[in-house]
Amino acid sequence: MKSDTICAISTPIGVGGVSIIRLSGPCSKDIISRIFDKAFLLEQKPRELILGEIKFNDFCDQALCVYFPNPNSFTGEDVVEINLHGGYYLTKAVLDEILKFKDIRLAEPGEFSKRAVLNGKMDITQAEGIIDIINATSRAELRASSNIINGGLSNRVNAILDDLTNLIAEVDVAIDYPDQDIEYISHNQILQALEPIQTNITNLLKTSATGALIKNGVTVALAGVPNAGKSSLLNALLGYDRAIVTDVAGTTRDTLSESYEYNGVRFNIVDTAGIRNSDDIVERAGIERAQNTVNEADLVIQLIDATRPLDAQDININSTVNKIIVLNKIDAPNNLYKDLKYKNFDISISAINKTKIDELKQLIFDKTINNQILNEQILITNTRHKQSLEKSLEIIEQIKQALVANHSIDCLALLLRDCWLALASIIGENTDGKILDTIFSKFCLGK
């Protein structure tokens, strides 16, 4: 594919040890030869860092440059990378000078990766894995995205596509050579061949709920009456004092969200305003937010204050919500634990003394994460992949119905092709330009 030359700063904009400007395209080498005094060495020693000077009219900087001749580069094109001292102004000034040359322009977000895909250096899932690994905020997310970059998902999808291709080929024989003296595939055999295909797609799809939790983090809402100790528990879970704690009921007004990592998974804990009837307009707004948080959370921790009798508010929480009931303040000398009628607590803790906080973290983990799925090699973390898998399963159901209704082999062949296309869209086969643009627009500049 013929393309122009692009360039961008590939490191974060700011001050640091090193910053990198990347050029890709046919003019990369020519442009570097005009600004780098040791450019003649780049061609002699491709893929090696060469120390020299980048020079302009009124300033220069010591730089390490490297040249990756096409097709053995990230984009598959001629690529040059310039390592500069990591000054914000310096890097921007060098970029501005490079952009003064003709035949080079600033890259769009993700354009280097898009070129890598278009030049066959990787497929879309691998490019999406790169976005995910860059944005990863937990060990599990890192692991899931690195498995995708390594082609794990593409391999799984390609294996299913191979089975579908074989099936389509057998069906096509029956269509193309109807009068030959050969044994054609029967409706029953098509059904049998579809079973493992359906199972493999279903198994991938089964990982998507856990995959979404890994990607977005698990949202855990802390709910309970004022003074139950929600903010104290938030601080205990985080290991530092993030929220204000006082003995005034109604201290927390707005929701407050912070994260911690446990067993490699990110948990987003949301502290909320204590729920009670209030005339205070600000508190009422906070309570409304608390209720919305509870409805949207993956898990709710219903915190009960052991030093006061239970009231209706305490256990009054939507029963369809996934929740843990936690009794707090068991350290308090005046705790009523033994007298409380309701004993169905999942765990009793002291947020102040940090008693049983690790046990609570494990409980939160067990209630939300399927450990077996978490340890699977491939997790579906991307909504686009999930939708393609769902679509292909829908079509398999249609094929099964068509088989039962004894529909013509031509009709089956069409449905099988639709199924193939739905699945293949995951790895970018027949993906239209608009989808590609949407995917790559999520990348940062210079990637």
Using the rule CB under 6 A, give the single segment among 46-54, 140-148, 193-201, 241-249 that binds ligand GTP. 241-249
Query: Please, which residue, 80 or 287, has the CB nearer to ligand GTP?
Result: 287
382 binds Mg ion (CB under 5 A): no
- DSSP state string for 171-195: HHHHHH-TTSSSPPPPHHHHHHHHH
252 binds Mg ion (CB under 5 A): yes
232 binds ligand GTP (CB under 6 A): yes
Residue choice 230, 323, 385, 386 for contact with ligand GTP (CB under 6 A): 230
223 binds ligand GTP (CB under 6 A): no
Q: DSSP label at 428?
A: T
Query: Please, which residue, 119 or 255, has the CB nearer to Mg ion?
Result: 255
In the complex, the smallest distance separating the C-beta of residue 305 from ligand GTP, rounded to whole angstroms, is 7
226 binds ligand GTP (CB under 6 A): yes
Query: Please, which residue, 350 or 381, has the CB nearer to ligand GTP?
Result: 350
Q: Which of 294, 357, 365 is nearest to 330 (CA)?
A: 357
Q: How far is CA 219 from CA 64, 143, 298, in A?
A: 44, 20, 5
Distance CA 228, CA 198 (A): 49
246 binds ligand GTP (CB under 6 A): yes
126 binds Mg ion (CB under 5 A): no
Q: Which of 165, 168, 170 is nearest to 182 (CA)?
A: 170
Classify burial at 306, counting beta carbons within 10 Å of its beta carbon; exposed 0-12, middle 13-18, buried 19 or more.
buried
282 binds ligand GTP (CB under 6 A): no
Residue choice 10, 146, 158, 251 for contact with ligand GTP (CB under 6 A): 251
Using the rule CB under 6 A, give the single segment among 28-36, 168-176, 326-334, 377-385 that binds ligand GTP. 326-334
252 binds ligand GTP (CB under 6 A): yes
Q: DSSP label at 431?
A: -
Query: Please, which residue, 297 or 351, has the CB nearer to ligand GTP?
Result: 351
193 binds ligand GTP (CB under 6 A): no
Residue in the block written with tokens 């985080």: 238
Ramachandran angles phi, psi of 271, nearest 5° = -80, 140
* In contact, 117 and 130? CB cutoff 8 Å: no
37 binds ligand GTP (CB under 6 A): no
Count residues near ligand GTP (CB under 6 A).
24
Ramachandran angles phi, psi of 60, nearest 5° = -145, 165
Name the token pair of 160.
């299913």
Determine the residue type at 283.
Answer: E
Distance CA 263, CA 244 (A): 27
Other CB atoms within 10 A of residue 203 CB: 13
Residue 350 interacts, among Mg ion, ligand GTP, none and using kind-specific CB cut-offs from 5 to 8 Å, with ligand GTP
Query: Please, which residue, 114 or 356, has the CB nearer to ligand GTP?
Result: 356
Handedness of CA 288, 293, 299, 301 (dihedral sign): negative
293 binds ligand GTP (CB under 6 A): no
In the complex, the smallest distance separating the C-beta of residue 250 from Mg ion, rounded to whole angstroms, is 8
Query: Please, which residue, 53 or 280, has the CB nearer to ligand GTP?
Result: 280
293 binds Mg ion (CB under 5 A): no
Ramachandran angles phi, psi of 210, nearest 5° = -65, -40
In the complex, the smallest distance separating the C-beta of residue 332 from ligand GTP, rounded to whole angstroms, is 4
231 binds Mg ion (CB under 5 A): yes
274 binds ligand GTP (CB under 6 A): yes
Query: Please, which residue, 71 or 239, has the CB nearer to Mg ion?
Result: 239
Q: Where are the alpha helices (DSSP H) in 369-444?
A: 371-374, 383-404, 409-424, 433-441
Residue in the block written with tokens 């949202």: 219
Distance CA 57, CA 65 (A): 20
258 binds ligand GTP (CB under 6 A): no
In the complex, the smallest distance separating the C-beta of residue 358 from Mg ion, rounded to whole angstroms, is 22
18-24 and 79-85: which strand pairing? antiparallel
Query: Please, which residue, 230 or 386, has the CB nearer to Mg ion?
Result: 230
Residue in the block written with tokens 């494990």: 362
Query: Please, which residue, 60 or 249, has the CB nearer to ligand GTP?
Result: 249
Residue in the shown chain whose Cβ atom is closest to ligand GTP: 274
Residues found near ligand GTP in the complex (CB under 6 A)? 224, 226-232, 245-247, 249-252, 273-274, 328-329, 331-332, 350-352
Q: Which residues sit at the interface with Mg ion, rule CB under 5 A?
A: 230-231, 251-252
